[in-house]
Structure 1
Amino acid sequence: MNPSILFYLLIGILIFHFVFDQILGVLNAKHFKDKLPPKLQDIYNDKAYSSSQEYKKTRYKFGVLTASFSLLITLAFFFLDGFAWVDSFARNFSEHPIIVALIFFGVIMLVNDLLTTPFSYYSTFVIEERYGFNKTTKKTFFIDKLKAWVLTGILGGVMLALIIKLYQITGENFWIYAWILIGIFSIFINMFYSKLIVPLFNKQTPLNPGSLRDKIEIYARQVGFVLSNIYIIDGSKRSTKANAYFSGFGKEKRITLYDTLVNNLTEEEIVAVLAHEVGHYKKRHILFNLFISLLTTGFTLWLFSLFVGNPLFSEALGVSQPSFHVGLIAFGILYTPISVVTGLLMNMLSRKFEYQADDYAQQTYGAQPLISALKKLSSSSFSNLTPHPYYVFIYYSHPSLLQRINNLEKS
């Protein structure tokens, strides 16, 4: 294969992936106007359902616009030798491979973020605002951006520098050591994400003593789940949408409830949602997902190690001097079809785990409080209640609401 063929192969993958996404998006959008199934008709009144349909259509059209813009920018970058220009720009400051790579990715990520920020701003302050979801101030929006840049620069930069250093020291066997490094980092982040990362963006406070905490602790004791860390996060600082999540292992495990969830659900519904999260822990889904993620990372790194030194990658992107960072860009695009398949398999597994966690909540607490909670959460976020089956199969990490209700009633 010569560089020209590889160049157009990369372009073809980008375009095919875009077209594939758009076809599924069109199929899904055709279901926006479907009549609600009988089991879901109590979620909305006519006015609210009409608003939810308009919201889905607006978000769909905006998604097509942003994806099209992103593709056009990427193609322009390819055809105008953007990678060669950025590589040359980075080499004006240093010839050290690590410094060049850090500047290279830093410039690309910064330019990409600056180009997409207007879309993000419009999404937050126009679309989300129009439908009553946005609670973010402009100050918070831009401070979040700055924090994300700094965090990505520090964590991403350090990881990239270490991986390149491992490549310099160990050659093609770098993938083994990089795999170990990423594995340690992933476990650390899973353990301390809520303690170290979340406070940079949100305030977390322990759930005060009272009826809700008593019910949660009673349930936890009944199912043998040792739980002392229950926190409320100020999700309403940015959105009216509600959520809850479980994080950490051992003594570091904690349940985090969004204040929007606490304010909108009854105590029984909140405990039912937590029962679902406890189900994930009891079924060892978190550990299994981490294990699968590490296996996938190992496979990806191994595959990358077979091509990283090939000058064909750099030549295809118009860069005269072969390098780790340019090879990583080309490999990332070539890997797209594989990532689609692995993503599909992970979503299938995730949906199975969601059913299992729902079953656990039904068996240890009850189906009706969870069904009621799921309906309220769907209503409060204008979730798509009539998605196309193919769209669910490819993209959904959770079963649709109707599928979850049918499973809970069946169980």
Structure 2
Amino acid sequence: MDQETIKYLILLIVSFNFIFEKLIDYLNVNRKTTEIPANLIGYLDGAKLKESKVYQRTKYNFSLVSDTFSFVITFLLIVFGLFGWFDEWLRQYLQSPMVLTLTYFAIIFIGSDLLSLPFDYYQTFKIENDFGFNKSTVKTFFIDKVKGYLLSIIIGGALLSLLLWLILELGQDFWWIFWIVAALFMLLANLFYTGLILPLFNKLTPLEEGELKETITSYAQSVGFSLKNVFVMDGSKRSSKANAFFSGFGKRKKVVLYDTLIDQHSQEELVAVLAHEIGHYKKGHIKTGMVAGVLQTGLLLYILSLFIFSEPLSMALGANQMAIHLNIIGFTMLFSPISMIIGIGMNYLSRKNEFEADHFAKTTFSGLPLASALKTLSVKTLSDIDPHPAYVFIHYSHPPLLKRLERLE
């Protein structure tokens, strides 16, 4: 395809993605829920249901503004060829292809983040604060930003540098070598995220000795699960919302419980939540998720290799010559429909895995305390108890609350 055709195709894809996403959001936020389901009576009342709807509407209105802003900026950058103009401007000062590309992406990343900063701030300190969720301070907010920048520079910069070096040295054959590197990185990230990265943002402390730990340990032993690393994370430092997650393999596997989860739930509910997380491990969901992620990355890199030296793609973004960084940007836009389809498939797999983990908890411990925990979590976080099926199909990585309760109860 010539550069003009590619340019219009990119504009079409960007516009379709925006309109489609906003349409799905609109259908979901306008779905009526007037009656409280029988199995939520005692947990949810009319006032809380109304508050939940107001929260969902507030987030929808905010995302409409922020996403429209992002869409308009991107659309104008493409229409006026500003991606290419910026490349030509940088070439006056930078001759090395490696330095040029790294500098280009660094400025684009920082510029994009600075544009989104007011929206992030408003969401945290206005929306989340108004509904009683935000516990973060302005100082913590900006320190998190700085830490995020440093991690992006160190880790992201190293990976991007390696990717560029492989492209420049091997041409289109770069993809399979970097695929191996990416797979190793994903494995190491899963193994060491909780031990190395998470402590940079949150404090992890071993679950203290006592009845809760003894009950958790006893349950883990009953299902043949060696569990020595149970940690409590100070999630209340930033939000009142509760959660729990599992990471790692073998001796490095860890279960992390938010302090807010411990504060809001009974001991029986906490063990049920833990049983659900152990179910993911016992059912092999961690490994299958890792394999699926590696395969997805390989597909993306292979298709990228077909576009990486395309001169028309660079010129479609306003350049006068081929530029690797422009082709990466253009590729991400062209690949987005495929990415959406893959995302839908991954969400379907994730929802299936959640049902299986629920069933594991139900058969090895009890379904009722897990159901009770899910009700409390959903009500306290003002979750949408009856989302639109289309929205669930596209966006939900977990089954809707009512679907999970049907199987648990």
Structure 2: distance between partners of 1:172 and 1:64:
39
Q: For residues 43-79 of structure 1, what are the alpha-carbon distances to aligned partners after superposition, in whole Å with 9 as ceiling and x for unaligned?
A: 2222222211111110111111111111011112222
Number of the residue aligned with 2:192:
192
Query: Where does the alignment leave 5 or more consecutive residues of structure 2 unmatched?
Result: none
- Aligned partner of 1:102 in structure 2 is 102
Q: Residue in 2 aligned with 1:370?
A: 370
SS at match of 1:271: helix
Deviations 1:87-139 (A, max 9, x none): 23433442212211111111111111111110111101111111100000000
Superposition RMSD in Å: 1.1
AA aligned opposite 1:56: Q
Residue deviations 1:208-239 (CA, integer Å, cap 9, x gap)? 10011011000000001001001000000000
Runs of 4+ displaced beyond 4 Å: none
Q: Matched residues in 2 for 1:32 and 1:155: separation? A: 45
d(CA) in 2 for partners of 1:76, 1:341: 26
Match of 1:321, SS?
A: coil
What is the aligned partner in structure 2 of residue 60 from structure 1?
60
- The residue correspondences of 1:71-110 to structure 2 (distance < 5 A) are 71-110=71-110
Q: Deviations over 1:223-261 (max 9, x none)?
A: 010010010000000000000000011111100000000
In 1, Cα distance between the equivalents of 2:34 and 2:164? 52
Q: d(CA) in 1 for partners of 2:331 and 2:241?
A: 37
SS where residue 209 of structure 1 aligns? coil
Q: Which sits farther off after the overlay, 47-56 or 285-294?
A: 47-56
Deviation at 1:85, TM superposition (A): 3.0
Partner of 2:395: 395
Tell me the CA shift for residue 171 of structure 1.
1.4
Q: For the residues of structure 1 that align with 2:64 and 2:344, how far apart are their CA atoms?
A: 21
Work out the CA distance in 1 between the residues paired with 2:126 and 2:355: 35
Partners of 1:230 and 1:255 within 8 A in 2: yes
Note the 1:137-156 alignment, pairs <5 A: 137-156=137-156
The residue number in structure 2 matching 1:114 is 114
TM-score (norm 2): 0.98
2:31–2:387 Cα contact (<8 Å) kept:
yes
CA deviation after TM superposition for structure 1 residue 33, in Å: 4.1
The correspondence of residues 233-252 of structure 1 with structure 2, limited to 5 A, is: 233-252=233-252
d(CA) in 2 for partners of 1:87 and 1:183? 31
- Percent identity, aligned pairs only? 44
Change (3 A) 1:274 1:236: same
Q: Which amino acid aligns with 2:399?
A: P
* Distance across 2 between alignment mates of 1:195 and 1:7: 45
Alignment of 1:206-221 (within 5 A): 206-221=206-221
| Number of the residue aligned with 1:361 | 361
What is the TM-score of this pair, normalised by structure 1? 0.98
Alignment of 1:2-401 (within 5 A): 2-401=2-401
| CA shift in 2, pair 1:34/1:23, >3 Å | farther
Distance 1:38 1:395 in 2: 26
Any conservation in 2 of the 1:32–1:56 contact (CA below 8 Å)? no
Find the aligned partners of 1:270 and 1:93 in 2 and give their Cα distance.
58
**What is the deviation of 1:19?**
0.6
Alpha-carbon separation, structure 2, partners of 1:203 and 1:78: 43
Alpha-carbon displacement from aligned partner over 1:358-397 (angstroms, at most 9, x marks no partner): 0000000000000000011111111000100111111101
Whether the aligned pair in 2 keeps the contact of 1:36 and 1:385 (CA below 8 Å) is no
| Partners of 1:34 and 1:319 in 2: CA distance | 54
Which residue type is aligned with residue 209 of structure 2? P
Mapped to 1, the partners of 2:32 and 2:155 lie a distance apart of 40
In 2, distance between residues paired with 1:125 and 1:404? 32
Is 1:32–1:384's contact at 8 Å kept on the other side of the alignment? no
Q: Is the 8 A contact 1:28 1:387 kept in 2?
A: yes
Distance 1:43 1:80 in 2: 54
Q: Distance in 2 between matches of 1:244 and 1:17?
A: 32
- SS of the aligned residue for 1:306 comes to helix
Distance (whole Å) between structure 2 residues aligned to residue 368 and residue 386 of structure 1 = 20
Contact 2:36 2:45 in 1 (8 A): no
Specify the code of the residue in structure 2 equivalent to 1:333.
Answer: M
Q: How far apart, CA to CA, are the structure 2 residues paired with 1:85 and 1:235?
A: 44
The secondary structure found in structure 2 opposite 1:106 is helix
Aligned pair count?
Answer: 409
Once the two structures are TM-superposed, the CA of residue 282 in structure 1 deviates from its matched residue by 0.2
Equivalent AA in structure 2 for residue 151 of structure 1: L
